[in-house]
Amino acid sequence: KFRNQGIGTHLLQHLLDYFQQHHISPVMLDAVERAAPLYRTFGFKDVCRSLRYRGNLPVPSEKPPDRLHPITDVVWKDLMEFDKLHFGANRESLLRPIFQKYPNYCRYLTQNGKISGYIMAIEREGYYKIGPWIVDRDELTPDILLRYLFSSSDPCEIYLGVLEQNHRTVQILADLQIPCIFSSIRMILGTNHPDPSPIMALAGPDRG
C-alpha cells in the first residue's frame, strides 16, 4: 500500500546525500529494467549487464594442481590484503564469517609463492552460492579455483553473479556449460570506474 508515494525515491536521495557528505564514490548498483529510468534521473550511468548463472559444476577428471590450497588462519591476513588491493575496500568483517562457517569451500591459488587468487562459497538449500572470487589479472588459469572448489564426487549445483565485462568468467562458465538464468543492469554514479577484471564473481549486495 506504500507504493507510488515517492518513499523509495526519498530514501534513495537521502542515501546519496549521505554518500556525498562522506565523499563516498563511486556508488554502484544492479537495477532491473523497469527501475533503471529512476536511477538515471539521479545521474546513474549504465555500465554493463549484471549476469546470474546457475547450473551443475562438473567433477574434474584430474587431481587439483599443487598450487591450489585450502584457506587457513595462517594466510588470512595476506589474503585480506590481496582482497583489499583488488576490491578497493576492507571486507574482513564480512568475509571472516564465511571462512569460519564454510572453511571447506574456501581456497586460494599461488603463483611463484604469492597469492594469485581465491574463492569462497556459501552452502544454500540445494546449491552453493559462489563469491567472492578474486583473481590477479596476470593469473592465466583462474578457472582452477572454481573447477576444484569442491571435493565431492558428484556434480554440485552452483549459483553466481558475474559482470558481463568480466570476459574471463563468462568464457569459463560457457566452457563449463553453466547457463545464464537472469540479468539486470549494473549502474554507476561517479567518475572513478574501478577495473572489474579481478572480480570474477560478485559476493552479493551485502558483501560487495
How would you write 81-94 as a 3-class SS string? HHHHHHHCCCCHHH
| Cα–Cα distance list, 178 to 53, 159, 170 (Å) | 7, 9, 10
Q: Is the pLDDT of residue 205 over 90?
A: no
Give the pLDDT score at 2.
Answer: 56
**Topology of 29-201 in CATH?**
Aminopeptidase (3.40.630)
Average pLDDT over residues 38-52: 96
Average pLDDT, whole number, for the chain?
93
Model confidence at 151, pLDDT cuts 50, 70, 90, reads: confident
Note the pLDDT tens digit of each residue in 113-138. Answer: 999 999 999 999 999 999 999 999 99
Q: How confident is the model at residue 38 (pLDDT cuts 50, 70, 90)?
A: very high
- Residues 16, 155 contacting (CB under 8 angstroms): no
Judged by DSSP in three states, 56 sits in: strand
AA identity, residue 92: E
For residues 55-84, average pLDDT:
96
How do the domains of the chain map onto residue ranges? 29-201
Percent of the chain with pLDDT over 70: 97
pLDDT of residue 170: 97
